[in-house]
Structure 1
Amino acid sequence: MVPTLYRILAGFVVGVLVGGSLGASAGIYPNIAQFLLPFRWVLSSVPGIVLVILAMLWCGVGSTMVVVIVALTVTPTLYLGMQEGIGAVEGNLREMARAYRLSFRKRLTELYLPAVSAPLMSSCVVALGGAMRVAILGETLGASQGLGYTLAVARSNLDTAELYAVALISMLMVSLIEVTLLRQFRKKLQRGEKA
C-alpha cells in the first residue's frame, strides 16, 4: 500500500506542477494554448493501457514507470482546469490591472486566484481518481510491489476476496488523499482569495 501511495502522490505532484504551469501559460497567452492543443488531445484520449505500455518501454518496470503514467494522466486534466479558470477572467479586468500597473502578486491574488480556485479543485479531484486507476494498472503489469501487484497475484490465484480488498483499499486511499491533502489545498486557496 505504501509504495502505491508514494507513486500516486509523486506522479500527482508532477502532473499538478506541469499541467498547472502549462495551463496558466495557455490561459494568459492564447498562442501557447493553440500550440499545446494537439498534445492535450493526445494525452486526454490515449487509453491508460497504452500509456502503461509506452511508459514500460521508456522507463522499464517499477516505480518510475508508475510515477510517469500518473503524471501523464494528471497533466491534461490540470492543464484544462487552469486554462479554463484563467481564460474566464474578463479581458476588461486584465486591461484594468495592466492600466493600474498592479504588481504580479496583486494580479495573482486578486484576479487569477479567485478565477482558478473552483476549476482547479475540481480538476484535482477528477485527476486523483484517474491517477489511482492508472497507478494500479501500471503496478499490475509492471511492478513487484504495491496494490496493483497484489491485484495481479490475487487474479492469478483466483482470490475474489483479495480482489475486493484491493478495490476497497484503493477507494479508501483516494478518499484519504482527498480529505487530507486536497481539503488543505482548498483552504489555502480560499485564504489566498480572502487575502
Structure 2
Amino acid sequence: MGKQRVDRSSWIEAASLPLLLLVWQLLAMLADHRLFPTPFEVFREIWHLATERYLLEDLGKTLGRAALAFVASMTIGIAIGGALGRARTLDRLFSSWILIGLNIPAIVVAIACYIWLGLSEFALILAVTINKTPLVAVTMREGVRALDTGLTELAQAYRVPFLRRMRLFLVPQLMPFVLTSARTGLSLIWKIVLVFEVLGSDGGVGFRIGVYFQNFDITGILAYTLAFMAVVIAFEYFVMRPLERRVLGWRQA
C-alpha cells in the first residue's frame, strides 16, 4: 500500500512540468501575439542559441559566479552562525548587524560594491556573498542553539575523542540546518546573480536578458530563462535531493 502511494506521488510530480507546458501552450494560442511565444518557439530559440554557443558560455559564467558566491557565503555564514549560537554575548553584540544584513536591499549592496570596486567579477561575487551570508548565519545560529547538550555531556563523560564526537553527535544534528541554508541560499543566489549581471557584467544570463529587454525580444528572454531554470531544476533533483536522502537517511531509519 505504501509503495503504491509513493509510485502515485512520483507520477503526479512527474506530470507537473508537462502540465505547465500545456497551460503555457494554451495561453499562447489564446493570446496569439508575438509577445507571447509558444513553448515550441522558445525551445527552437534555445537550440539556436546553444548551437551558436552564446547560451552555453553565458550559462557557464552565471553558474560559476553563483558557485563561488555560494561556497563563500556558506563557509562564512556557518562560521558566524556557530559563533553566535555558542556565545550569547557575541549574539547580543552583533544581532543588529545580522538584522541589517537580512533587510538591506540587495540592489543597494550591488550598487555600492560596483561603485567602490568597479564593474568587476570580484565586486559581483562579493555583493552576492554579502547578501546571502546573514541568512546562513541566522539558520546556523538556531541550529547550534538546538543542539542536544545531553548527548555532548554523555560523549564527554565517556571520553569520546573530539573528532568522533563531531562526526557522531554534532554534525548529524546540524546537517538539517546546513541543508536548509543551502537550499534557501541557492534559490536566493540564482536570482541575485542574474539581477547583478543586468546591472553590470561582461556576460552571463542576466547580462543577455538585459540586452534582450532593450530589444523587446521576449522569445530570447524566455529562452535564457527556461534554459537557466532547467539547470536549477536538474541541480535540485540530481544533487540536492539525493544528498538530502543520503545525509538525513538516519531520521527515517
In structure 1, the partner of 2:64 is: 6
In structure 1, the partner of 2:77 is: 19
Query: Unmatched 5+ residue regions in structure 2?
Result: 1-58
What SS does structure 2 have at the residue aligned with 1:163? helix
Answer yes or no: is 1:108 the counterpart of 2:166: yes
Distance 1:99 1:93, change over 3 A: same
Query: Is the contact made by 2:197 and 2:207 (CA closer than 8 Å) also made in structure 1?
Result: yes
Deviation at 1:160, TM superposition (A): 1.0
Deviation at 1:30, TM superposition (A): 2.5
- Cα-to-partner distance string for 1:35-82 (whole Å, 9 max, x where unaligned): 332221111111111121122123211321221122122212221222
Query: Is the contact made by 1:43 and 1:73 (CA closer than 8 Å) also made in structure 2?
Result: yes
Deviation at 1:89, TM superposition (A): 1.2
What SS does structure 2 have at the residue aligned with 1:151? helix
Whole-Å separation in 2 of the counterparts to 1:51 and 1:61: 13
Deviation at 1:167, TM superposition (A): 2.2
Query: Is the contact made by 2:176 and 2:248 (CA closer than 8 Å) also made in structure 1?
Result: no
**Mean CA deviation greater in 126-135 or 18-27:** 18-27
TM-score normalised by structure 2 residue count = 0.68
Whole-Å separation in 2 of the counterparts to 1:136 and 1:75: 18
Deviation at 1:12, TM superposition (A): 0.4
- For the aligned residue pairs, the C-alpha RMSD in angstroms reads 2.3
Instruction: Choose the corresponding residue for 2:124, options 46, 49, 66.
Output: 66
In structure 1, the partner of 2:54 is: none
Answer yes or no: is 1:125 the counterpart of 2:183: yes
Equivalent AA in structure 1 for residue 63 of structure 2? L
TM-score normalised by structure 1 residue count = 0.87
Larger-Rg structure: 2
In structure 2, the partner of 1:166 is: 224
Query: Is the contact made by 1:69 and 1:134 (CA closer than 8 Å) also made in structure 2?
Result: no
Whole-Å separation in 2 of the counterparts to 1:188 and 1:25: 27
Whole-Å separation in 2 of the counterparts to 1:121 and 1:152: 32
Deviation at 1:101, TM superposition (A): 3.4
